[in-house]
Chain A
């Protein structure tokens, strides 16, 4: 049964690829945002190898996924180093490779500031939450938030917070995937989105966390390898002289020397601080990232995994900065990469493409094919992690704990989780197709803003503050969730660009400074005012919880196979 499904999914993809090959009219009736390119056979072959390999792993993982613990957390049997690579694979999305490098390409130093901001959350995660996450949690973020609070209420809230983040982030990834694949592989947008959705559901439902982890590890290695090779080629182009690369970039860029200093992107201090708060603390509130800490056997491995992950992520981000800088000269002065051959005009394939063009300029079609396949693999790994986090919020938190009040059997819970991941797959495909023509850039800010405003305050206060009560967590968390969404809807990205109103009501681009502060404030004030009997019990339970979070006594251990 399982084998048939894996084979079925593989043949579906081959068919989809071949049908696009066979259909010479596809380019004519296509009106999408990204221009569809000619079929790139190298890219498709390399991607098919990746898909076959990962489906093989999924088949192997499916035989090892017997219990709920196997499904959600790979039985806690992933080593710190493996988990570090998988975390890096989860976090280095296609958006970081394409988006951050193109930001450096277009704005220079401002892009570098974004890169730094995306990184700084990692040490904070290690110092403040990693080991406590491992010691307190079993399967989901809600395990920790509801540890000493009202199970039904706080779990429901935490699950909603997780699902909101997962859904918004899925839209970003699916739309990005559709456009990227259309461009790089010459496949139809809808076909691309369906392929991503099908593969994601196959990995998650059959292989659970074991398969998802290995998909992420393989993808991380490919991305790090591909990025490094491209980085070395770029440095070699400038004689391994970074200053020469910078001088050439300044000479090629229309802003000239201005690209070497902070510019207009972060000129408004309020937006800059708000953005950085969202990125730094939102990272710690992403459910698919938190979930990765439950896959290692103990706190020691959890710490090791952050050290490994942040090393790889930091290295990769520095490479991305170099790639963006190199692209300013190599891509920015080559008419092949501009529409109509007009240098300084529109980049072929849209603003996210400089790093792909750089791959073609330095490594030819073969390397471009390789990097395209890696980008596709990257998206698959990230959406799989998201789908698994979303499915566990539905099956473990809402179904098993809230609806069945812990009385569901493991078998029932796993069945629900598989149905949930299928449902999330369908939802992701539908949303991906609905949002095809939308500019989804604002959703990245919204995702991190919600994670920082709804999940992070409740998470950190439940671990660190004795005074937190159920009422405080609910009011504060909901305040953060709602205010983050409202701020973004009233900001320029949605109110003006999507809803076509003349002026934004909320004047800043990023919500976190306001919504996160408000969430902390409401949580603390409501908790302080809470004089109920249950609040007393919840405060009393903190000391025992703290012993567990500090020492790991009573924490769920690894399952031996």
Chain B
């Protein structure tokens, strides 16, 4: 029984749209997080002094501190972006799809 539902879902054009759109968003956001994190790690490994520059005239904090904090905060905000679209627009697409393909 369920195999028939799965087959019907696969043939539905909206399934392709959902998978493509959500997949693209997940890919872009993952790439953003991984590229910025591994970019940071590469600077740590190969040019650590770049992160050791003072944040401003006469300051002790270095630019590494806000950059590191930004990696944590921005990647958390990106989980908010993903949840917003996946739980809004894409969830609606999914619900429509389930309605259309149910018996």
Contacts and interface: CB of A to CB of B under 8 A. Distances in A.
A262 B44 contact: yes
Contacts of B59: 243
B79 to A, nearest CB: 5
Contact of B83 (A262, A303, A543): A303
A388 B17 CA distance: 39
B44 A123 contact: no
A310 B51 contact: no
Contact of A250 (B33, B60, B75, B78): B60
A551 B94 contact: yes
B61 A261 contact: no
A237 interface: no
A16 interface: no
Nearest to A112: B68
Nearest to A304: B83
A263 interface: yes
Interface residues of B, number: 55
B79 A112 contact: no
Given A243-B59, A551-B9, A120 B37 contact: yes
A544 interface: yes
B76 A314 contact: yes
B3 to A, nearest CB: 6
Interface string B81-101: 011001100010010011001
A261 B62 contact: yes
Contacts of B46: 269
Interface string B63-82: 01100110111011011101
A202 to B, nearest CB: 35
B53 to A, nearest CB: 8
B12 to A, nearest CB: 10
A554 B6 CA distance: 9
A14 interface: no
Interface string A17-42: 00000000000000000000000000
A127 interface: yes
Interface string A112-129: 110111011011101110
Given A272-B45, A303-B82, A304-B87, A318 B69 contact: yes
A246 B61 contact: yes
Contacts of B18: 550-551
A272 B69 CA distance: 19
B68 A120 contact: no
A117 B40 CA distance: 10
A414 interface: no
Interface string A249-276: 0100000010011110011110011001
Given A243-B61, A261-B52, A543-B6, A310 B19 contact: no
A397 interface: no
Contact of A123 (B42, B48, B60, B75): B75
Contacts of B52: 109, 260-262
Nearest to A298: B91
Contact of A246 (B40, B60, B72, B91): B60
A112 to B, nearest CB: 5
Interface in B19-56: 19, 22, 26-27, 29-30, 33-34, 37-38, 40-42, 44-46, 48-49, 51-52, 55
Interface residues of A, number: 53
B6 A113 contact: no
A404 B71 CA distance: 48
B51 A124 contact: no
Contact of A547 (B6, B41, B55): B6
A317 B72 CA distance: 9
A262 B61 contact: no
A267 B64 CA distance: 16
Contacts of B40: 116
Contact of B65 (A112, A266, A548, A552): A112
B72 A124 contact: no
Contacts of B79: 122-123, 126, 306-307, 310-311
A263 B61 contact: no
A124 B38 CA distance: 13
26 contacts: A109-B52, A109-B62, A109-B64, A112-B65, A113-B44, A113-B68, A119-B71, A120-B34, A122-B79, A126-B83, A127-B26, A243-B55, A243-B59, A246-B61, A260-B60, A261-B48, A262-B52, A267-B45, A272-B45, A306-B79, A306-B83, A307-B83, A318-B72, A543-B6, A550-B22, A551-B15
Interface of B: 2-3, 5-7, 9-10, 15, 18-19, 22, 26-27, 29-30, 33-34, 37-38, 40-42, 44-46, 48-49, 51-52, 55, 59-62, 64-65, 68-69, 71-73, 75-76, 78-80, 82-83, 86-87, 91, 94, 97-98, 101
Interface of A: 109, 112-113, 115-117, 119-120, 122-124, 126-128, 131, 242-243, 246-247, 250, 257, 260-263, 266-269, 272-273, 276, 280, 300, 303-304, 306-307, 310-311, 314, 317-318, 543-544, 546-548, 550-554
